[in-house]
Amino acid sequence: MTPEDLTSEENETPAAEPEDAPEEPEAQPEEAEPTPAPRARGRAVMTRPPVKGERRWYVVHTFTGHENKVKTSIERRAASEGLQDRVGRILVLTEEELRSTRRGKKQVRKHKVFPGYVIVEMELTNETRHLVRSTAGVTGFVGPDRQAVPLQPDEVEGILGAASEEAPRRRAPFEKDDMVRIAAGPFENFHGRIEEINIPKEKLRVLLSIFGRDTPVEVDLGDVERLS
């Protein structure tokens, strides 16, 4: 080894070791937000957790046509299992539709307002949840992943208002401005437009063209047919 080699080795600077990269701060878990519950009108709302002993209203999905059977079955099972104090009213809302026939006669057809659904007032516990879900004809609650989500106060108010009526509410198979044909009476075969629907009196006010002038006439609901 020559003196030049020794000098070269002494002048060489050892390579600097890489500094450790600064540690990234450990991510803190985010607080979970309450799951928004879907509503019948499509808006998402936040629901508070159930309170012990409090009854709230829940919508239960059933096989169509099994609504009344499900209602009766839940009532009987709640009584037999000692859960009457936790399960309250069970509603299957119906309404009557006034229809007319080709002979001018009136028909009244009763049908369910919410086919395939039963509305249950209950305190949500493991026992009542299992009672409802295990009832024959029930497919689950209406909510995310078929979990029980209570109705909002304004929804409950509308439902109870309809349920408190002494007789099933009625509706006509027509709407304002529908074009119809008079099927019976002095204006038979006249065509006109509906101006007003009076369900309590079962009457319609129809605007007819008589001698080239628009003339409103009142006819029985059963004397009218909708034009396709």
CATH number of the domain that residue 210 is part of:
2.30.30.30
Which pLDDT score, from 0 to 100, does residue 56 have? 94
pTM equals: 0.56
Which residues of the chain are under the pLDDT cut of 50? 1-45
Please name the amino acid found at residue 52.
Answer: K
Identify each DSSP E strand in 116-222 by its residue range.
117-122, 138-141, 169-171, 179-182, 191-198, 203-210, 213-220
Cβ atoms of 71 and 57 closer than 8 Å = no
Cβ atoms of 40 and 155 closer than 8 Å = yes
Which pLDDT score, from 0 to 100, does residue 107 have? 67
Q: Last residue of a domain, which of 137, 154, 171?
A: 171
Our count of domains for the chain comes to 2
Alpha-carbon distance of 201 to 178, in angstroms, equals 19
Which pLDDT score, from 0 to 100, does residue 188 have? 87
Which pLDDT score, from 0 to 100, does residue 179 have? 92
Which pLDDT score, from 0 to 100, does residue 160 have? 80
Asked whether residue 67 falls in the same domain as residue 108, the answer is yes
Per-residue pLDDT tens digits for 51-67:
777 899 999 999 999 99
Cβ atoms of 73 and 87 closer than 8 Å = no
Which pLDDT score, from 0 to 100, does residue 37 have? 34
Find the domain containing 194 and state its range: 179-226
Sequence-separated (6 or more) residues with CB below 8 Å from residue 121? 55, 56, 57, 58, 87, 88, 89, 90
Asked whether residue 187 falls in the same domain as residue 165, the answer is no
